Amino acid sequence: MASTSTKCADVSVLTPDYMALLQSLCAMSKPSVNDVTAIFNEFRRSLDTKKPKSSSRPSKSLSASSRASKQCSGKSVSNGVDVDGCESADNNLGFERSCTWEPGEKRCWIVSDFDLWNRILARNNVKIREYQWGEISLESYQWPAGKPDVLDMLRASLLIHLLLRQHRCVAYIYFDITTYMEKLVVWHALKTGAVGVYRLECKLWLLDVPGSMIETERSDFCEALATMKNLTWLLLTNILFNYDVASKIGGYVEEATALTILQFDQVVADDTNAGVFLDHLARNRSVKKLCVNEHLVVARQGQALADAVRNHVTLQEIEVYGNMEFSPSALLAAAVQSQSLRSLTVHECHVQAEDIEAMASALKRREPPPAFEPPPPNEPVLQC
């Protein structure tokens, strides 16, 4: 007789506790636990290609989907479970099964199911695709016409959470915050899953409304980002750096050891908060390429970024965007003092001639002193 541990090797992750967790994170649609359970039962019918499809139609509303899910000893909401909460011998796990990707050798099983998953995700303007061989990207985009249905939004959000929880083959994520989705569900997925993600691009919020859901979502995003230790490439767009955000993202960057490319676009920050972030950046020991926009460039008359460039030990390439009323004198001076910098690109700044001359002088190769040539051995050495 098979041991319990062997028998339960492939226990479904779709437990009542998981359903309750997801329900607690859905701040916009506010479904019941039964609603969430019913949606996962829909997923089983539409995504599990190994099983015959049920003729049952998907739920038409959250209230209509509030029905008790099939449970077995309180262990699982999956179909085909026995009294121990384990999959029956003739019923392998379906769409919720773990990643099977082997880097450079084997694609994950989900690659062959992209069409099935994207039928659900695309209704909410989200898609998965093969980013590089065997590596998957998860990408969202703005809705071209009408706003997606609330239930479609909820389905996509729940499926994203499961995807990031189960699949280390997801390597690249692009989120546009204007995409209609349960943000807390997605940020929780980043925080507790997404172990294979090394490239993250997010278009976030410029609004700052104290006590609002935006503030909660922004704080949760920063906390999720802080857990992503394997990122090598981070691009944040359209984000307000208040003190909380500047401190949390700055602290993450300071401690990061894998991060090599760091890019910011349309960051809004006052001098104080921009300086807070750049002080953290100066203590980072991994970033090689940095791209920043106006508010980070002009902070403290440009001295905050200049200090970060001067003190950074691995930075090799920097690209900055300023404004035509700002002169990057401090940055240009710091660039020639950096021990690691190899490339500096400046856009939309008022560069003064004297700063260029100073850079050219500092970068000019000095002629080596003439080598001393001792006199021939038969000639007397002149002494003074």
Q: The CATH number of the domain where 248 resides is what?
A: 3.80.10.10
**Domain membership flag for residue 310:** yes
For the cut 70, the answer to whether the pLDDT of residue 80 exceeds it is no
Instruction: Report the alpha-carbon distance of residue 316 to residue 327 in Å, rounded.
Output: 22
- Phi, psi angle pair for 326, to nearest 5°: -110, 135
Residue 174 is assigned to a structural domain of this protein: yes
Beta strands in 20-143 (DSSP E): 126-132, 135-140
User: Mean pLDDT across the stretch 104-126?
Assistant: 95
Query: Tens of pLDDT along 17-31?
Result: 999 999 999 999 999
Mean pLDDT of all residues belonging to the chain? 83
- Whether residues 256 and 331 share a domain: the answer is yes
DSSP conformation class of 370: P
Q: Are residues 167 and 315 in the same domain?
A: no
Residue 110 has what pLDDT? 97
Per-residue pLDDT at 197 exceeds 70: yes
* Confidence bin at 368 (pLDDT 50/70/90): low
Angle at 273 between CA 268 and CA 274, to 5 degrees: 65
- Do the domain assignments include residue 60? no
pLDDT at 56: 37
> What number is the average pLDDT over the span 199-209?
80
Which of 51-65, 231-245, 368-382 comes out lowest in average pLDDT? 51-65
Same domain for 134 and 34? Answer: yes
E-assigned strand segments in the chain: 126-132, 135-140, 170-176, 199-203, 233-240, 261-268, 289-292, 317-321, 343-347
pLDDT for 210: 61
Lowest-pLDDT range of 150-159, 160-169, 174-183: 174-183
- The answer to whether position 95 is within a domain reads no
Look up residue 134 and give its two tokens: 């065997």
Residue 343 has pLDDT above 60, yes or no: yes
Q: Give the pLDDT confidence score for residue 287 in this predicted structure.
A: 98
State how far the Cα of 141 lies from the Cα of 239, in Å rounded to an integer.
17
Return d(Cα 156, Cα 361) in angstroms, integer.
Answer: 58
- Domain presence at residue 258: yes
| pLDDT over threshold 90, residue 226 | yes
- Tell me the pLDDT tens digit for each residue of 235-250: 999 888 999 999 999 9
Section 232-236 average pLDDT: 97
Q: What is the DSSP letter of 230?
A: T
- Taking Cα atoms as reference points, which of 243, 41, 273, 30 lies closest to residue 150? 30
* % residues pLDDT > 70 (the chain): 78
Greater confidence (323 vs 214) lies with 323
91-95, 297-301, 312-316: least confident range: 91-95
| pLDDT score of 82 more than 50 | no
Q: What is the pTM of this model?
A: 0.81
Residues 245 and 135 in one domain: no
Question: How many residues can be counted in the chain?
Answer: 384
Q: Once rounded to an integer, what is the mean pLDDT over residues 69-84?
A: 37
Domain membership of residue 324 (yes or no) is yes
For residues 59-76, average pLDDT: 41
Nearest Cα neighbor of 325 from 298, 296, 291, 289 is: 298
Does the pLDDT value for residue 69 go beyond 50?
no
Q: Name the domain boundary from 132, 153, 187.
A: 187
Same-domain pairing of 336 and 254 = yes
Averaged pLDDT for residues 186-191: 95
Query: What is residue 177's predicted lDDT score, i.e. its pLDDT?
Result: 79
* Residue 341 within any structural domain of the chain: yes
Q: Span 196-222, mean pLDDT?
A: 81
Give the total number of structural domains in the chain.
2
Clarify whether residues 158 and 249 are in a common domain: no
281 residue type, one letter: L
Flag whether pLDDT at 308 surpasses 90: yes
Pick from 131, 155, 187: which residue ends a domain?
187
In sequence order, what are the beta bridge partners of 344? 318
The pLDDT confidence band at residue 364, using thresholds 50, 70 and 90, is confident
pLDDT at 305 over 70: yes
Least confident of 6-15, 268-277, 324-333: 6-15
Contact in structure between 316 and 288 (CB atoms under 8 Å): yes
Does 260 lie in the same domain as 181? Answer: no
Same-domain check for residues 138 and 287: no
* Same domain, residue pair 30 and 159: yes
159 and 277 together in one domain: no
Structural domain of 238: 229-360
User: Across residues 157-174, what is the average pLDDT?
Assistant: 97
pLDDT band per the 50, 70, 90 thresholds, residue 180: confident
Whether residue 302 is predicted with pLDDT greater than 80 in this model: the reply is yes
Task: Examine residue 248 and state whether it is found in any structural domain, yes or no.
Answer: yes
What percentage of the chain carries pLDDT values higher than 90? 64
Cα three-residue angle 311-317-318, rounded to 5 degrees:
75
Q: Are residues 260 and 149 in the same domain?
A: no
Nearest to 296 by CA among 279, 313, 317, 316: 279
Q: Which of 118, 153, 187 marks a domain boundary?
A: 187
Residue 353 and residue 326 in contact, taking contact as beta carbons nearer than 8 Å: no
- At 218 the pLDDT is 84
Instruction: Give the least confident one: 58-67, 276-285, 307-316.
Output: 58-67
> How far, in Å, CA of 164 to CA of 242, rounded?
29
Is the pLDDT reported for residue 301 higher than 70?
A: yes
Q: Are residues 260 and 354 located together in one domain of the fold?
A: yes
